[in-house]
Amino acid sequence: MRVIAVDGPAGAGKSTIARLVSAKVGMPFLDTGAMYRGIAFAVLRDGVDQNDADAVGQLARLTELVLEDDALWVDGADATQSIRSAEINSVVSVIAAHSPVRAEMRDQQRLWISNHNGGVVEGRDIGTVVFPDAILKVFLTASPTVRANRRVEQSGGDAVHIAESIAQRDHLDSTRQDSPLMPAEDSVVIDTSEMSIDAVIDVIAQLFKDAESRQVQR
């Protein structure tokens, strides 16, 4: 399957960059963070205990997520805006640590990619677990200050508060037992702190071209 995996912590520029890469290489874009956010949305909607792995796993299996372009529909309701709220931010890393939830999301992500014949997939465990055979794996990072400032520019809010929320999510995402946030052994790590978006896109597009020509030669 033709997959470009784009992993990394919150605020490293994954969404912006993965979207632009997808337009440049002509492959669909899948935001797997939005899927976890969709389950967090359903947890809050139904009043399910966010710490109950089995209950949240059951809800994940029953919830219909429809992702196309930038929109997310959860059981027929447009949740595109609501999944970006501070309330969802505080719940999503907790529910994303539950193995039954991750197993369901992994299955749905693989199905989505198979139905779309490949894609640019953004997340935390795409290169390590979901698509270990991706043609190209990039891991985007940036300094914590740069990441917090980018989120403030994107969505407003208080910089100190946002930095704390990002640090808390990073901690939960990288220390969980099941598929923690980390670069795959064969990923290319790109620190975007001092790079323009265009420069990052150019690097990734070139890496992809090289990776595809290596595949053809094999």
Contacts with ligand DC by CB under 6 A lie at 10, 32-33, 36-37, 92-93, 96, 123-126, 169, 173
* Least separation in angstroms between CB 65 and ligand DC: 13
Q: Output the six-digit token pair for 64.
A: 């219909």
User: Collapsing DSSP states into helix, strand and coil, what is residue 139?
Assistant: strand
Give all strands of the β-sheet with 119-123 in edge-to-edge order: 29-31, 119-123, 3-7, 136-141, 188-191
The amino acid present at 83, given as its one-letter code, is I
Tokens 């919150």 belong to which residue?
10
Indicate the residue among 145 and 168 with the shorter CB distance to ligand DC: 168
9 — phi, psi (to 5°)? -75, 170
CB closer to ligand DC out of 104 and 125: 125
Compare residues 25 and 165 and give the one whose CB is closer to ligand DC: 165
Per-residue burial over 23-47, b if 16 or more Cβ lie within 10 Å, else e, is eebebbbbbbbbbbbbbbbbbeeee
Please, which residue, 69 or 202, has the CB nearer to ligand DC?
69
**Which one, 33 or 183, has the nearer CB to ligand DC?**
33
Name the minimum Å distance from CB 218 to ligand DC: 28
As measured in angstroms, the least distance from the Cβ of 37 to ligand DC is 6
Q: What distances in angstroms separate CA 119 from CA 11, 82, 202, 211, one per listed residue?
A: 21, 25, 18, 15
- In the block, tokens 């990619």 appear at 113
Q: Reduce the DSSP state of residue 106 to 3 states and report it.
A: helix
C-alpha distances in Å from residue 125, one per residue of 73, 174, 184, 185? 23, 10, 8, 12
Q: How far is the CB of 197 from ligand DC (least distance, A)?
A: 17
Residue type, 105: M
Question: In the numeric block, which tokens belong to residue 32?
Answer: 């797997």
Find the shortest distance in angstroms from Cβ 83 to ligand DC.
Answer: 8
Measured from the CB of residue 98, what is the shortest distance to ligand DC in angstroms? 10
**Which residue's CB is nearer to ligand DC, number 135 or number 212?**
135
